[in-house]
Amino acid sequence: MLQYPGFNPIAFEIGPVKVHWYGIMYLLGFAGGWWLARRRAARPGSTWKPNDVDDLIFFAMLGVILGGRIGYVLFYGLTFWANDVWYPFKIWEGGMAFHGGLLGGVIAITLFAWRRGRNVGDVCDFTAPLPALGLFFGRIGNFINSELWGKVTTVPWGFRVHGEVRHPSQLYEATLEGLVLFAALWWFTMRPRPRLAPSGLFLAIYGVARFLVEFVRVPDEQIGYLAGGWFTEGQLLSLPMIIGGVALLAWAYRVRIPSGNFVVAQ
């Protein structure tokens, strides 16, 4: 059993302004994604330019933040909104839904692709490894905030928090949805793959990882379990990702449309 250190969620203060670790984690995720995307764009044979990456990350950042917050409010926080009309705007209090952030990011990427005359699938494939960094840092932020703890457990790596030993489900997610997902996607996209194959692999791996971790997570109190005393909202939202990801992978390798992210060899 490990003792939770009890971190201060506020990293530092400048006058009346309080900077939270959760916000810093988001900045680290976007900065890391920008740096890695720049590296990938600089590789020989890439059809991406540095200014393309800069604009892409800007669009994606807006889409992920807005979509993540709106998604959380609609999927998990309607009762909070009913009690506080300003709740959707209190993003510093935490509360971001990955599924909403993914949808917001896809909408932003679609807008970027339309403005730049690129194929949406190619843009999604190019960005496929990048969200994993944000997921990793975001879950570390959850751990620092002492939120999203798992079920009571007797495993030796459980953390004692609030008088109980619980699964560190945030760290499980940081590992599976962050490090493992990133490593798999970064390796997979190091060479040309059929269009939408990277996007499909991302959806499949994330969906499976999230579905599995939900077995040890405690569901949001205002929602609880949806069925059987174990099936959660997170698992319900992950099922379409798993099915869609596998379907995209199968389709991509069946039709084998070349990726537009690489120069076609003559």
Decide if 239 contacts 175 (C-beta within 8 A): no
Neighbours of 118 (CB within 10 A): 19
Distance CA 54, CA 60 (A): 10
Is 225 part of a structural domain of the chain?
yes
Enter the pTM of the model.
Answer: 0.86
Is 245 part of a structural domain of the chain?
yes
Tokens of 99: 């599924």
Is 139 part of a structural domain of the chain?
yes
DSSP3 helix / strand / coil % (the chain, rounded to 5): 60, 10, 30
Please compute, for residue 135, the number of CA atoms within 13 A of its CA located in the half-sphere on the CB side.
26
Is 262 part of a structural domain of the chain?
no
Decide if 166 contacts 149 (C-beta within 8 A): yes
Q: Is 95 left (phi over 0), alpha (psi -120 to 50) or beta?
A: left
Is 94 part of a structural domain of the chain?
yes
Q: Tens-of-pLDDT digits for all 266 residues of the chain?
A: 899 998 998 999 888 888 888 889 989 999 999 999 999 999 999 999 988 999 999 999 889 888 888 877 777 776 666 777 776 766 655 567 777 888 888 899 999 999 999 999 999 999 999 999 989 999 999 999 998 899 999 999 999 998 899 999 999 999 999 999 999 999 999 999 999 999 999 999 999 999 999 999 988 777 778 887 888 888 998 999 999 999 999 999 999 999 999 987 54
Distance CA 145, CA 8 (A): 7
Domain span at residue 104? 17-255
Is 266 part of a structural domain of the chain?
no
Is 58 part of a structural domain of the chain?
yes
| Single-letter amino acid code for the residue at 145 | N
| Torsion angle, alpha carbons of 67, 234, 253, 108, to 10 | 0
**Residue where the block lists tokens 């949805």:** 177
Is 64 part of a structural domain of the chain?
yes
Report phi then psi at 7, rounded to 5. Answer: -70, 150
3-state secondary structure 140-195: HHHHHCCCCCECECCCCCCEEECCEEECCHHHHHHHHHHHHHHHHHHHHCCCCCCC
**Residue where the block lists tokens 């740096």:** 35
- 3-class SS of residue 98: helix
In 15-134, beta strands by DSSP E: 17-20
| Single-letter amino acid code for the residue at 63 | G
Of residues 154, 175, 228, the one with CA closest to residue 2:
154
Distance CA 203, CA 172 (A): 18
Number of domains in the chain: 1
Decide if 124 contacts 105 (C-beta within 8 A): no
- Regarding beta strands 2-3 and 159-161, do their DSSP bridges make them parallel or antiparallel, or are they unpaired? parallel
